[in-house]
Structure 1
Amino acid sequence: MNGVNALDGLILTRHGESTGNLAYRAVQGTDAEETEIPERDADIPLTDTGRLQAAAFGRWLAELPDDERPTRVVTSPYLRARDTARIALAQTPFGPDEPGGLRIEMDERLRDREQGILEGLTPLGVRRRHPQEAARMRRLGKFYYRPPGGESWTDLALRLRSFYRDLDLSSPGARVLVVAHDAIVVMTRYIVEDLSEQEIMEIEKDPIGNCSVTRWQRHGGTLRPAAFNDCTHLLDADPATP
């Protein structure tokens, strides 16, 4: 039995492109040791492209059949996720500003994985500033390694199991939209599909797209995968795309 047993459907999306995403991309392939993101993780905002992506995701939501639309919306408390949910639902007839619309709830268990002393460092920065931690990570593997002051992937799984168990108990039969972070999308697959360490770490190698769709629908008494990391609805959200 998987970790989500009473929901009728589950849609996950990663927040739209953020200024933090741009900062990480800017230092790739350089000798930078830090990303130099000025905000704390919880306050990193969306870029203009991220807001366009959120609106495109909202238009996708608005086109869902009535029996597939979410009946509950829960988001990470981080700014980039909250704003993604707000912008997306504004494109739908069931957003919080519509009569009888859905309320956007927040749950701290959906926050991004905490990096502890490694926060803001590039892989090169980790190797240079914390060589013992880099060696521990290699020895233990990404799944079980916990940076000082941070979380392992298994720590994330524990808080997510708690979150989904509460959803099962409070909203049986609901169709839930979760707006959060790439690690949340990945570890939800681990929980819902009852995957192994090796399976989920292989999946994690491919980046989760901003405002992509990952989705499960109930068939034969269980939630079954319907889409993973689908970005086709975003083709008109990139300013560089004609």
Structure 2
Amino acid sequence: MSVSGFPAPGVDVAELTVVRHGQSLSNELLIAANQAGIAEVDGLPARDADVPLSARGEREAAAVGRWAASLDNPPDLVIASPYLRARHTAQAAVDALAAVGRAPEFRLDDRVRDREIGILTLLTEARLRVAYPEEVARREATGFLYYRPPGGEAHTDMAIRLRSFLTDLGEAAAGRRVLVVAHDSVVVMLRYVIEGLLEADVAEIAASGGIKNASVTRWERRGWALRLTLFNDVAHLSLEHSQDA
């Protein structure tokens, strides 16, 4: 990856760790449907915000909790997306930390919600290609970073709300260790904002397989900026993944 932008200064936290939520029911069902070329999926709620964790996701959330409780320097502030799958993953970490006498402050923040994808929400790829072929073509022509589905957001729209989030975080949590539990698009776009990535850098991350469920990404303050020290790490999930093998 070749980065030619400028990293974002002024996020005055000691450490920022971002965890993607555990596997959700939509992750499980839509991935299986896309791999099989199935157009319709049953069993999902109407709103993306209400999608729960899958059984595997519940185990991954528990593993995130054990990981958080094992840290020598655990977070003292946990912030989660209000979406159900992220809230439940974050709560597992908060509960595990409280159980070892290190209960953090816990907040929800709508600015770290998942990307809004409008009319494409919870559609399989096969259904999308039948119902909205013009959107498939526009998505491919516009590219990962700038494509905005009808009624939804481009990733660059997410960057605007995440810049606001980071600005407020730097003012309200100076010197603190912060854990954010959110979504794959949030992890990618925080890298974009914090590290000054460019379109090609973001496309490379997306093409590399994406952000894994319950993975850990961390930046630590080094001088005047946050520096990436861990990315998309799932070492803490080895036992859970062995159970699914």
Q: TM-score, normalised by structure 1?
A: 0.90
Amino acid in the other structure paired with 1:236: L
The residue number in structure 1 matching 2:140 is 138
The 8 Å contact of residues 214 and 227 in structure 1, kept in 2 or not, is answered as yes
The residue number in structure 2 matching 1:72 is 77
Distance 1:100 1:31, change over 3 A: closer
The 8 Å contact of residues 3 and 165 in structure 1, kept in 2 or not, is answered as no
Aligned partners of 2:225, 2:110: CA distance in 1, in Å? 27
The residue number in structure 2 matching 1:116 is 118
Distance 1:238 1:107, change over 3 A: same
Q: Secondary structure at the match of 2:96?
A: coil
The residue number in structure 2 matching 1:232 is 235
Amino acid in the other structure paired with 1:22: E
The 8 Å contact of residues 10 and 215 in structure 1, kept in 2 or not, is answered as yes
More helix by share: 2
The 8 Å contact of residues 19 and 47 in structure 1, kept in 2 or not, is answered as yes
The residue number in structure 1 matching 2:214 is 211
Tell me by how many angstroms 1:52 deviates: 1.5
Q: Secondary structure at the match of 1:28?
A: helix
Q: Secondary structure at the match of 2:62?
A: helix
Q: Percent identity between the aligned chains?
A: 44
The residue number in structure 1 matching 2:169 is 167
Q: Secondary structure at the match of 1:65?
A: coil
Q: Secondary structure at the match of 2:79?
A: strand
Tell me by how many angstroms 1:36 deviates: 3.7
The residue number in structure 2 matching 1:29 is 35
Matched, 1:62 2:69: yes
Distance 1:58 1:99, change over 3 A: closer
Distance 1:123 1:100, change over 3 A: closer
Per-residue displacement from partner, 1:75-128 (whole Å, max 9, x unpaired)?
Answer: 000111111111122222xx3x77672232001111111111111222232222
Q: Which runs of 5+ in 2 are unaligned?
A: 1-6
Q: TM-score, normalised by structure 2?
A: 0.89
Paired residue total? 237
Equivalent runs, 1:148-163 vs 2, <5 Å? 148-163=150-165
Q: Which runs of 5+ in 1 are unaligned?
A: none
Per-residue displacement from partner, 1:179-219 (whole Å, max 9, x unpaired)?
Answer: 00111111111111110011011112222111111001112
Over aligned residue pairs, what C-alpha RMSD do you find? 1.9
Aligned partners of 1:234, 1:228: CA distance in 2, in Å? 14
